[in-house]
Structure formats: C-alpha cells, structure tokens
Structure 1
Amino acid sequence: MLTVSLAAQNPSNPAALDDGWTIAEPQAAGFDAAKLRGNFATMLSGEVNLHAVIVERHGRLVAEGYRTGRDKPQFTFLSRIVAFGPAVRHDTRSVGKSVIALLVGIAQAQGKLGPAGSAVLDFYPELADLATPALRKITVADLLTMGSGLAWRESGAGFPTDEDRLAWKKSQIRFVLGRPTVAEPSRRFNYNSGGTVVLADILERATHMPWTEFARTALFEPLGISDVEWVTDLRSRPMANSGLRLRPRDMAKLGRLVLNRGKWKERQVVPAAWIDEMLRPRLATGVEDTRYGYQWWTGSVNWQGRSLPWHAAWGNGSQRIFVIPDLDMTVVFTAGAYGDPQTVRQVQKYFQALVDSVAAQ
C-alpha cells in the first residue's frame, strides 16, 4: 500500500531543514493554495508509481511531498520498496546529462576548456586511426545537442542496445567515436548516452581531475549539495550518462540555479551566457513538440491561455527537473516508472496541473 507523507497532505509546509532552502506559503508565492493542495493529494495517492514532488518559486520551497514506493536500481532485476523522504537520494538517471552540460560551461569560464565548436578529435590524438573526414567534423556542441550524426541505438527491440554495450566496453571513448557516421553533424537528433560519456571524459582531460571531483568542487559544493552518488557501471566507472543520485530538494537547487541564469544565492556558479546557450532549443527530438539544447529539453505548457516555454532535465523513470522562466518556478518529480511511457504522459499532465495552480505571475 502506498502512503502519502505529512508533507504531501500539507504541501504548504515543506520540511524545515538546514540545506539552504527557505520556505514560503503557497498563497504568498502566487498559488491557489487549495488547488495546489488538491493536486498533491491526487498525485501522491494515485496508482502512478510517483515517489516525490517538489515545487519552488522565486527561490523558496512552496510544496513538498513523498511516499513509499517500488524502485529498481540500475543493473538489478529485482525491485524493492523504499520509504522516500527529504533525506533520501533518488536515481535521477539521465538528469546527470544535464549536469554535465553545466560543468562544460563552468570549465569554459575557468579557461580550462575551449569553445563548444572545438573538434572532439582534438582531445584524442591517440585515436588518429578513427579520424575520418566525417568524424573530424564532430564538435563538442554536436555531442551536447545529440546531433553528432554517429550511429547509435539507445532503445527499442533487442538486447543489447548501444547503451548496454557502453556499460561493459573496456574503451568507451573508442567505442562511441568508432561508430559509423550516418548523418551530417548538427542536422538530426539521435539520443546518445555515449556522447555524454565522451563529454565527461573531455572534462576530465581539460580540468586534470576526475570529472566527478570537478562536479563536486565546481558545482555541488557551491550549491550546498553534499549527498551525491554516481552509480558505477559494470567496470566500476561512474556513469555520467545515467548514474547520478540526488535528493529531490537538491534537484530543485539545480532548477533554481538555471532560473537565476547560473547564480545561487549571491554566487555566480555557471556563466549566465552559458545558461542562455545551454537552454536555446536547437534540434527537434520527435518527442511530442520538444526540442533539445545542450543536454536540456525544451517544450511548452499552457498557463491562463498563454503558451509558456519550459526547460527540463529528464531521466528515465519520470525523473524531472522542470523550470518555467516566465513563472520563475521549478517543479521536480521522481518516480520508479523506468521504461514506462504511460507514466511519462501522466507526469506531464501532473506538471500541467501544478502550473494551473499558479494564480498570479
């Protein structure tokens, strides 16, 4: 039996923790409090395997709810029952990709990494044997937008996918960059976790430290995020593409960072210009009406008869960090619905319902 926590029953009163968040009453933050409370009750008492929902607006937590649910860690066949709450990390899966994009911007600002138009092969002189004219055209930006043109099958019928193979390949970079080129760079979106693994490796080469350490010192610590885990693959390597585990409240900090154009509190953590470039929609994804920027998704949501853009970090299982700049609002979802498109559609409906509960801009 799934249960709704006290926070879900009282979404105007998130837990008071010493983690950098201040709390606001829903009405003071511009919400219809009754509608917001009703949405939380619906979301966290239904059949959908939702684990947590967080709403923050104008830099303050407004609503927070958790419940016990079934979850399944990566590389396991058996699921387990977990009592989720404010202090429990959750698999964020591909939300880690969006974190890698933030790190690229930080490394550029520190003068450790060149422009996004830099050729990927320039970082890999040892792979000269792979250097076809087509591969030489691929840039860091092409990896960020998943528009490299490299052949890659992330999902669909048949095991293993290229993502599965990535987890046990000895030389991941050679495996990814050795794939055939099937399209011109920057022309076609093709979801590719391998590109994110290459980006993380480029960060490691550019910063001269493990990319996980760079993430800790350059991004997470400035945001007051300390409870972080990167799940490892079958060769004990941290997975940039799908291994990040965070508390939902810390996921919301990433959303607030983006809404503040790279600033947390009074500190500019990521350059504002990079946030703008990162969020700029580039390639159509073929998923509803969404487009892809630099490892961040973009779509639209209705609010009082207007279509407002959102940007999001997405992860398998319906892990979501939505930011709506026009409403200065972040919505976080975590769930255990891995590979379940029906839940993806339901979470989008929940997201719309939460936006509908905003009474004033």
Structure 2
Amino acid sequence: MNGYQFNFSTPEQQGVKSEAILEFLEAVLQCRTQNMDQDFHSVIIARHGAVIAEGWWKPYAKEMQHMLFSLSKSFTSTAVGLAVSEGLLTVDDLVTDYFKDECPAPTGYLAQMRIKHLLSMSTGHIVDTMGFLQEREDGNWVKAFLNVPVEKEPGTHFLYNTGATYMLSVIVQRVTGLKLINYLQPRLFEPLGIINPTWEECPMGYNTGGFGLSIRTEDIAKFGQLYLNQGILNGKQILPKEWIAEATCSHISNGSDSNSDWCQGYGYQFWRCRHNIYRGDGAFGQYCIVMPDYDMVVAITSGLKDMQIPLNLLWDHLLPGICEDKLPESAAYQELMDKLNSLKVLLPEGDGTSEITEEIAGKCFTLDENEDHMESISFTFEKDTIHLHITACGKKQTLNAGIGTWAAGYLESFDKKVPVRLTGTWQSSTTLLIQCRLVETPFAKQFRFTFNKEGLIVETKGNVGFEEPGWNRILGK
C-alpha cells in the first residue's frame, strides 16, 4: 500500500535538544513498577514532519498493532468530518432524524439532541450510556441509547459518554452505506499508509466507534501529523482544514483545574490540553498529541494507571528543549539513539531455576473454578524455558515462558489467537512467577504459582483495569 511516510532526522536538525528527549525517557523509567501498571510500550516524536525519536520497550515492537480504546473516538470524529465535507450530514442535524424507526416520536431533551452534542460529549445525559448499551439483552445498542433518560439540556453539560460516539458510528454508516472502517479505508487509512486496521463491532454489526480500533504507533503519529498539517499530506487535502479547526477547539467546559489536562475544554472527540496543545487519548495510556505552536506530534502507547503522568513528563522535560532554529550536533544524540534502541520493560526479579522442578515436572494440577476459565495446569522445564500446559474452556494449549527473556506465543481465547509474550522466574524455591503480556493491548497479567504439600496455590493479578486490579486466589490439587 502506498501512503504517507515520515522522513527521519536528528532532533538537533529540527531544533530539539537530544538532552530533552533523554530527560523525558529517564523520567519515564523512574515511573516504572514491578506491578506493570506504569509501563510505556512505545513512543514516536515528530517535528516539522520528520521523526526525531522512536522507540519500543521490548517485548513490544514496531510492527505490532495496539488497541487504542478511546483514542478511536478521534478517528470516528474524522469520519463525521469527511461525511460533512461530502454533504451527507451536518453537525446541526437532529440525532433522532436518523432513527425514525427506533424513535418515531422523540420528546423532551432527546428531541433537541444534535450531532454536535454527540461529538462534544454534551448530550445531556448524566451517566455514560455505554453500560446500558452493553447490558441490552437483544443486542440493540441503538434502542438502548435512545431509551436512556436525557436529564439536561443538550449542549449545556459535559459528560464523557462512549455511547454517544457509538451513535456517531451508526449515523455515518446509515448515511454512507459503509461501516465506519470501510468508509475511512480509502479516505483516511490508505492515504496515511495505515495497514490492516481492525475495529470491533457491536452485536448489530456497526463498528463500536468509541473504542475498538487497533493500529500501529506509527499510524497514530501519521494521524496526528494530518491534523497538524491542516489536513494536507503529500500535497493533497485529505481532510478539510475547517473541520480540523472545528474539531480541535473547545466546545464545552469540562472542569476548572488549571493543572489538569482533563479540564482544558473538550472539542469534537479531542481533548484540549495546556500549552495550546490538543490530543486524542485512550484508556490506560494511548495518546495522539498534537502541538501546533511547536509543529510537533507525539504518539504513545502504554499500560498506565495514571494517564496524567506522561503529559506532565512531556511538558516538564520535552517542551523546554524545543527551539525555533536548528541546533548544532550534540554528543547526546548518540546517547539518545543507544537509549531508544535498548528500551525494555522491567523483567521480574528472581532465580532461573528451583530445586523442586524435577519433583513437579509433568504433574497435573486440577484447579478450582476461576475467572480465567483454567481447568488444569502442568509444567515442564528446560534450561531457558518454562512450558505451561493449560486446559481452559475444554481446550489444551501450551504457553512458553522465557527465563530472563520473553518467549513469543499465542493465547487461544474464544476462537481468537491473541499474541502474547511470557517470562518466568523463581521468587523462592517454591514460588514461580510468570508474567504474560498481551502485546497488542495495554494489558498484562501476573501468575504466581506456589507449590506445597497440598498441591498448588495460583494467584493472578492484572496490571490495569477499569476497576482496581487485585490478587485473585485459585487452589489446585
């Protein structure tokens, strides 16, 4: 596929101090924990249209797609902007005009809701509608959204509402006859050179809109560059500059904390930030950050508990190192390249073997009922690898964990093969710790196996989640 490609440059050629990027990376490293809940997976920094720094924390890699969560919303907004430019709809259209079969006689504030209110998270709802959509027994998310009470006048109240973005996806499909992803394919993805994007669907077959898109980090950066370039790539107007101005300005207040980048105003599925910066972002640390005053784009994927931290680090360390003119070559540049080429997540601490491996090798442990649906597990050991033989949901599979390194594999889950990387270490003579990273997502999980006379204790914990992860305990015999 032909499409937009970045040029590459040294930071100094584009007026950025390598020392500033190094300081940012060092600050990132200081945030890491053994709980895996403040892990960066990738970063790309581009200035004046050229990539000046890019890196992936092993085992994450350049070619991998990454789940975007709510960063998907900014792409849905873009689809709406393209549909507006083609004369298929306007942001002032009433939402219910597109759902006459589902809602033939709207009343109250629902009847006043317009597309611009979906875009700006100002629908008038007082709770995020997404839960109602996902709980709908017949799978009709559209009816679920239309049945949620609208208790405030649309346009007067900000409430982050993923269900609103879903409705934008439905509207785009209804006016174009194409699923959101298919509508964007020739208009956005192909011109940007975005390869093999995937997008989750609702039970009715509409793309979920507010989440579910997966692309590479490079693709996130290209998307940001399109917005920074006022919709122009390779000399062609891909997206109207009028839409970019409209989508990225503040349409509604979302708080008064001057130090929070969640309280600087909200656009059409974009967040305003301090320093005249704006971003699209997704849960657990997926970012497309556009800095018009600095002619810079930053793309980040991660598995983060606190999403304000990366923004603070960028403002504190990167911004002071940006200059108007080119800078002389710096010895720090080679140090920066070495740092970027050696990035890696923390490996768990411990020993490579235990005195009990021969005793437990091949022994099958039957597990109590658990949320991971594991029914039984056994272990075999080689010098550099731990083999986990698991039966889950009636299916047998073997996962390999590297010792002191990461082993690649696939987790078979509900007829899907999910790419994973695993590592293992002995924390004591009887306790084996396995880390499993779902490398195309923000998620990772720890499995702590403690062997005793009664059998096996399995403790599991995720890194991040919409609820605070905790250790779950499973007994095995």
CA contact (8 A) 1:262 1:275 kept: yes
In structure 1, C-alpha distance between the alignment counterparts of 2:109 and 2:20, rounded to whole Å: 54
Asked whether 1:346 is paired with 2:306, we answer: no
Residue 20 (structure 1) aligns with: 5
Query: Cα gap change, 1:137/1:236 in structure 2, threshold over 3 Å: closer, same or farther?
Result: closer
Kindly report which structure 2 residues correspond to 1:54-93, keeping only aligned pairs within 5 A, or say none: 54-68=44-58, 83-93=59-69
Kindly report which structure 2 residues correspond to 1:185-196, keeping only aligned pairs within 5 A, or say none: 185-196=154-165
Asked whether 1:49 is paired with 2:39, we answer: yes
In structure 2, C-alpha distance between the alignment counterparts of 1:195 and 1:153, rounded to whole Å: 9
- Which has the higher mean CA deviation after the structures are superposed, 37-46 or 238-247? 37-46
- Which has the higher mean CA deviation after the structures are superposed, 90-99 or 210-219? 210-219
Residue 7 (structure 1) aligns with: none
Asked whether 1:290 is paired with 2:264, we answer: yes
CA contact (8 A) 1:146 1:192 kept: yes
1:25-78 residue CA offsets vs partner (Å, 9 max, x unmatched)? 10011111122233224425741211111100111111111113xxxxxxxxxx
Q: Give the strand-richer structure, 1 or 2.
A: 2
Shift of 1:266: 1.0
CA contact (8 A) 1:145 1:292 kept: yes
Q: 2:119 aligns with which of 122, 131, 144?
A: 144
> What amino acid is the match of 2:251?
R
Shift of 1:234: 6.7
1:204-252 residue CA offsets vs partner (Å, 9 max, x unmatched)? 0111112210021211111111131113457775421110111111100
In structure 1, C-alpha distance between the alignment counterparts of 2:64 and 2:314, rounded to whole Å: 22
Kindly report which structure 2 residues correspond to 1:191-340, keeping only aligned pairs within 5 A, or say none: 191-232=160-201, 238-286=207-255, 288=260, 289-300=263-274, 308-337=275-304, 340=305
> What amino acid is the match of 1:351?
L
In structure 2, C-alpha distance between the alignment counterparts of 1:131 and 1:233, rounded to whole Å: 24
CA contact (8 A) 1:67 1:85 kept: yes
TM-score for both structures, normalised by structure 1: 0.81
In structure 1, C-alpha distance between the alignment counterparts of 2:23 and 2:124, rounded to whole Å: 46
Residue 96 (structure 2) aligns with: 121
> What amino acid is the match of 1:296?
F
CA contact (8 A) 1:252 1:331 kept: yes
1:247-300 residue CA offsets vs partner (Å, 9 max, x unmatched)? 111100111111111111211111111111111102122373321010000021
1:74-130 residue CA offsets vs partner (Å, 9 max, x unmatched)? xxxxxxxxx2121111111101101011111111112222x2011011111102356
Asked whether 1:110 is paired with 2:100, we answer: no
> What amino acid is the match of 1:31?
V
In structure 1, C-alpha distance between the alignment counterparts of 2:27 and 2:108, rounded to whole Å: 55
Aligned positions, number: 312
Q: 3-state DSSP class of the match of 2:103? A: helix
Query: Cα gap change, 1:188/1:215 in structure 2, threshold over 3 Å: closer, same or farther?
Result: same
Q: 3-state DSSP class of the match of 1:62? A: strand
- Which has the higher mean CA deviation after the structures are superposed, 18-27 or 135-144? 18-27
Residue 132 (structure 1) aligns with: 107
In structure 1, C-alpha distance between the alignment counterparts of 2:76 and 2:201, rounded to whole Å: 16
In structure 2, C-alpha distance between the alignment counterparts of 1:195 and 1:140, rounded to whole Å: 9
> What amino acid is the match of 2:79?
L
Asked whether 1:165 is paired with 2:142, we answer: no
In structure 2, C-alpha distance between the alignment counterparts of 1:169 and 1:152, rounded to whole Å: 21
Query: Cα gap change, 1:103/1:235 in structure 2, threshold over 3 Å: closer, same or farther?
Result: closer
TM-score for both structures, normalised by structure 2: 0.62
In structure 1, C-alpha distance between the alignment counterparts of 2:66 and 2:319, rounded to whole Å: 24
Q: 3-state DSSP class of the match of 2:55? A: strand
> What amino acid is the match of 2:142?
I
- Which has the higher mean CA deviation after the structures are superposed, 144-153 or 32-41? 32-41
Asked whether 1:356 is paired with 2:323, we answer: no
- Which has the higher mean CA deviation after the structures are superposed, 37-46 or 273-282? 37-46
Structure of larger gyration radius = 2
CA contact (8 A) 1:189 1:285 kept: yes
Residue 460 (structure 2) aligns with: none
> What amino acid is the match of 1:170?
G
1:323-350 residue CA offsets vs partner (Å, 9 max, x unmatched)? 110111111111112xx2xx21211222
CA RMSD of aligned residues (A): 2.1
> What amino acid is the match of 1:178?
N
Shift of 1:148: 0.7
In structure 2, C-alpha distance between the alignment counterparts of 1:54 and 1:198, rounded to whole Å: 32
In structure 2, C-alpha distance between the alignment counterparts of 1:35 and 1:129, rounded to whole Å: 58
**Gap regions ≥5 residues in structure 1:** 1-17, 69-82, 155-159, 301-307
Residue 72 (structure 2) aligns with: 96
